[in-house]
Chain A
Amino acid sequence: KAGVTQTPRYLIKTRGQQVTLSCSPISGHRSVSWYQQTPGQGLQFLFEYFSETQRNKGNFPGRFSGRQFSNSRSEMNVSTLELGDSALYLCASSEGLRSYEQYFGPGTRLTVT
């Protein structure tokens, strides 16, 4: 089975711009969760989508949003980028209904200048 894929792997953006990151889960998985990882704050939960609906949400500002498509692929959008948004963004997929272990993708390294 193919693993979780994320695109792009690296991204450099300017403050004030917006960005969209993509995640394709493991085949058959219906849950996609997004995390932000920084040296200072560690791994922080952004949100989880299950069957196209946001099922859980973390404590991030409204500039962070996401969606999930009918094929379970998910996108995450960050508007009005700030320098502090520089981070590794990880998505994780899970079967989501009867089992909850999460499998992480390689991440997208976002640098905001």
Chain B
Amino acid sequence: QQPVQSPQAVILREGEDAVINCSSSKALYSVHWYRQKHGEAPVFLMILLKGGEQKGHEKISASFNEKKQQSSLYLTASQLSYSGTYFCGTGGAGGTSYGKLTFGQGTILTVHP
């Protein structure tokens, strides 16, 4: 089942903050966040694992709520370069299934000067 992302689109001015949510109807074991710019490949931002481990870029933060089966990506002091489509991907149960990602439909983020 595909995770649901919200909002579908968000428009910001430089310096503003944004939160992108990812909700799953199934238990979450890992959540992967990516940003994709038009015509380019998705770029890894962050991975969060059940149990609290997380790894990612310094300027990006995210949360992982196992009970609510949700993850949120926090973008603070946005820059023009943050524009793009953000995807969350949820991994399967168990270590060897972390790589089988089911992606949400994406959130389009546009940052204006």
| A contacts, CB < 8 Å to B | 31, 33, 35, 42-45, 48, 50, 55-56, 58, 90, 94, 96, 99-107
Contacts and interface: CB of A to CB of B under 8 A. Distances in A.
B38 to A, nearest CB: 12
Given A100-B47, A101-B47, A102-B32, A56 B55 contact: no
Given A102-B44, A105-B41, A56 B99 contact: yes
B103 A104 contact: no
A48 B44 contact: no
11 contacts: A35-B101, A42-B105, A42-B106, A44-B103, A45-B100, A56-B100, A99-B55, A100-B30, A100-B49, A101-B47, A104-B43
A55 B103 contact: no
Contacts of B34: 104
Contacts, number: 65
B103 A42 contact: yes
Contacts of B82: none
Most B Cβ at <10 Å: residue of A43, A55, A94, A107: A43
Given A99-B55, A101-B32, A33 B41 contact: no
